[in-house]
Amino acid sequence: MKSRTPEVTVIIPVFKAHRTLGRALNSIKKQTFAYERIEIIISVDDGLSYDEFKKLDRNIRLLKPSGKIMTGAGQARNRGIKAAKGRLVGFLDADDTWSQNYLKELVPIALRYGVAFAKTEIFNNNGEHVCLLDPGFNIQIKHFGLIPGSYHPLVIRKFAGPFPEGPTQDVIHAIRLLKKIHYRYKQPLNAKYELWLNKSSKTAEKKFSKLADNSYKKWRYYYLKKNNIKMYYSDLEIIKALQLKINWNNRYISSRSKESFYEFISKKIKFS
């Protein structure tokens, strides 16, 4: 009997992720969306073995690079996109989780508009709630600057890639998706991407904010140079959002705070 094409492919880039990957996979398994319609691609980027996870679940495919490793999360996601079989593609980091209703709420929206985003809830290393990134009913490009953080899309496969290189690849990828659909998007009310502040993750390193700051400046320059003759409204919105991102990073860096970036901004903005 011919196997059924999955409705959703979930791509998880992994780099030294053995400790947290099981929790991420378990959150997919607990979805109220039919699990048999989900394909999971573990995109390996550290050269280590993750066979133990594949043995536990036939929905899981291991994707190992044929070339060099340590290419970064964006390139690991791009390899996953090329291998994906689902109508829709979702992205989950190995140290994060999804709320149980994540796919059930996002799938209909993604099929209708081409892309869907959930709210992002931040937890600290002790599992305590830090803040909820909630742009309201209509998510727009400006929210990436007004509400600093990242949002993770569920997207139809033809829109899924590629991710650019660099530390802010997920933010730029999401902004480009919103530009493609011209704001024709309504946000689900309850679904959440659950981002865990893991001390061993790249984003938890103090130097990451400086790397992100340089990356945002590079992308702002790209859009300014691209539009030096005629400024398109959507690109102007991107430039404004990137400048706000730069401003937030500069505030965090200059504060020399020992807190994480999200813990810092949670005290500066009124979050849920």
**Tens digit of each residue's pLDDT (9 = 90 or more) over 27-37:** 999 999 999 99
Q: What are phi and psi of 132, to 5 degrees?
A: -125, 115
Stated pTM of the model: 0.92
Domains in the chain: boundaries: 8-201, 203-259
Per CATH, domain 8-201 is 3.40.50.720: no
Report d(CA 69, CA 36) in Å as an integer: 31
* Tally of residues, the chain: 272
98 confidence band (pLDDT: 50, 70, 90): very high
Residue 182, exposed/middle/buried by CB under 10 A (0-12, 13-18, 19+)?
A: exposed
pLDDT score at 3:
62
pLDDT score at 1:
35
Least confident window among 55-59, 68-72, 128-132: 68-72
Q: Read off the pLDDT of residues 4-47 as tens digits, 9 standing for 90 and up.
A: 789 999 999 999 999 999 999 999 999 999 999 999 999 999 99
Q: Are 16 and 91 in contact (CB under 8 A)?
A: no
53-59 long-range contacts (CB < 8 A, ≥24 apart) are: 53/21, 53/22, 53/25, 57/25, 57/29, 59/35
147 confidence band (pLDDT: 50, 70, 90): confident
Handedness of CA 82, 84, 4, 107 (dihedral sign): negative
Handedness of CA 29, 31, 34, 39 (dihedral sign): negative
Distance of CA 270 to CAs 83, 134, 244, 245, 248, Å?
Answer: 41, 11, 17, 17, 15
